[in-house]
Homo-oligomer: A and B are copies of this chain.
Amino acid sequence: MTDVRLIGLDWGTSSLRAYLYDADGNVVATRQRAWGIRHLPEGGFAAALQAITVDWPACVAVAAGMVGSRQGWREVPYTNVPADAASIARGMQRADACDSHALWIAPGLCQRTPADVMRGEETQIIGALAQQPLYHASARFVLPGTHSKWATVADGRIVAFDTVMTGEVYALLMQHSILSAGVPVGAMPHNMEAFTRGVCVARDSGAEGAFSRLFSTRAQMLAGDLDAADVPDFVSGLLIGEEFRIARMRNDGDIAPLCLIGESALCDRYIVAAGHFGYGSPHVIADASAQGLWQLASAAGLLAKATLHSFSGVAT
């Protein structure tokens, strides 16, 4: 395995992925473990890094995600928006106590008003911009999930972003609230018609918003207008629709193209919702963290150093 320049680490709360790159930025090997920062193996962060890179050549490593949070390996202060690969790279800090690799941890981003933070998503957006240069001028990136992120890119920089707690609130409502009473145990989202109804209720709630319509789920079920098995889809539609409603309220008349970054099944729901809010069909990128880590390493000037380090590592 020659000509290796970089190890990239996408290190979140629940999982750790490692990428090995050649000199052209191509990923030549990928590994994944369940060693998120809350589920580390014995020996902690250093042991996890050693184990996931075992047999890989020593070279510089770049990490992004919750590994840079207060509960991570080292807390790396947030970089303010507007931000691009260069400003994020300037905020990187080197982790101590790492023998095998020079490890640099990327900062997340923060925004003052409304107060918001992200860690890891900024790296995906930087990667997506490298994949899709046409989005440099103007785009909105949506990263669906536990805490969905909506980020606005203008002139190649992330200028603003918002977090909506869609996935977490959905799980709480379906696991613990009155809305789940009577829903068959293990009922999973499956009915796109019920999902679409939820999306449209959120949209048509106008300035009142979907929070004012949550209980209508229960009322419709009691009235026989919503099948109990369809409640998860309807609530999913309400909450994902609410993300789009918020975006529309914030950016009325907005024509920035929409780009989704996330796994396919979830992105499919966002594509349906986008259609009901008058957005053109969004572009979908499954994962851009590998490319983002490479971009950050490049912007930080670590790739040249990486070569040297790699060679010295091989020599010892």
Contacts and interface: CB of A to CB of B under 8 A. Distances in A.
Interface in A199-237: 201, 205-216, 218-220, 222-223, 225
Given A207-B249, A212-B246, A117 B218 contact: yes
Interface residues of A, number: 42
Nearest to A149: B215
Nearest to A148: B215
A44 B210 CA distance: 38
A108 to B, nearest CB: 10
Given A116-B216, A164-B211, 18 more contacts: A111-B219, A114-B201, A115-B223, A117-B223, A147-B215, A162-B212, A168-B178, A169-B214, A172-B172, A172-B173, A206-B249, A207-B207, A207-B209, A207-B249, A208-B249, A209-B211, A209-B246, A211-B246
19 contacts: A110-B219, A111-B219, A114-B201, A114-B205, A114-B219, A115-B220, A115-B223, A116-B215, A117-B223, A165-B178, A165-B211, A165-B214, A169-B169, A172-B173, A176-B176, A208-B209, A208-B249, A208-B250, A212-B246
